[in-house]
Amino acid sequence: MDQDTGEHDGERGEQRSGRRTVVITGASDGIGAAAAGELTRRGHDVVVVGRSEEKTAAVAGPLGARRFTADFARLDDVRRLARELQESVPRIDVLVNNAGGIFDRRELTPDGHERTWQVNHLGPYLLTRLLLDGLLAHGAAVVSTSSVAARIGRLSPETLVDGRRWSPQRAYADTKLANLLFTRGLDGRYGEQGLAAAAFHPGGVATNFASGTSTALRFLYRTRPGRRLMRTPEQGAETLVWLADGTAGRDWRSGGYYENRRPARVPSRAADDALADALWQRSAELVGLTPGRPAG
């Protein structure tokens, strides 16, 4: 998976040239909303997914975009979202897994999983797996919002999942590492069938991120001095837009991790194929799916 993409990337790029249908989760605010606006301006058909009906409608309405709502803290919501997308959006060229957050307290979801883990990893994993047949049929790309925090993630096959003492920062870092490992897993299993996958770090962006936590991050994101040091949502969305608007094999390499529209340093744990496979297997168990195609 570290090798440059081959001939199948050229075929994939040809299939996905021109106007694309781009589904963006976490698009009711922040970089998701900014990317939805920019991709619409570039002529793409954007589908806006958010947790809040009111906020999602406020983003989708001016764009003339289709909209759906789902709370990733409820896996049944994710399953319903997948069904609705399959029924209403016959072709998805790019799926952007952008929904996520950092949370102040350790809480279990109605599904029995730690909230950060489910919202940031299990929900996107489940949605992608449920849409996988259609994504493969159209040579689609899956783009995941990760973070530089992945560098301090400490997932291992022995600690999947929740094997360390919990803190908001640890939980978040582990899920951002999981996003990179999931990208690697997608490329390893389905890259030869024409599916592309990439992850990116948006940088520190002045959004509502971390508003639900009392950690130091909240004061960075929610105070005027802190926000002055940060990027605008539009700046944070630039790499997302570049990936969704670009072509794997020409503009970027499938399985890669990007920052500022350039390859970023990959944490050593994120390059571990055994860990990527263990995460894939465990995630499938937790959401009630079979593992599917083994890594190539």
Cβ-based neighbours of 35, under 8 Å, separated by 6 or more: 24, 27, 96, 98, 237, 240, 241, 244
In terms of C-beta distances under 8 Å and separation of at least 24 residues, what long-range contacts does 287-295 make, across chains too?
Answer: 287/75, 287/122, 287/125, 287/126, 287/129, 289/126, 289/129, 292/129, 292/132, 292/189, 293/189, 293/190, 294/189, 295/185, 295/188, 295/189
Single out the catalytic residue among 172, 221, 257, 258: 172
Cα–Cα distance measured from residue 228 to residue 206, given in angstroms and rounded to the nearest whole number: 8
Active site residue 125: no
The encoded tokens of residue 206 equal 């002045």
* CB-based contact 127:81 (threshold 8 Å): yes
Neighbours of 145 (CB within 10 A): 28
* CB-based contact 19:44 (threshold 8 Å): yes
Give the closest residue to 195 by CA, choosing from 36, 13, 18: 13
Catalytic positions: 172
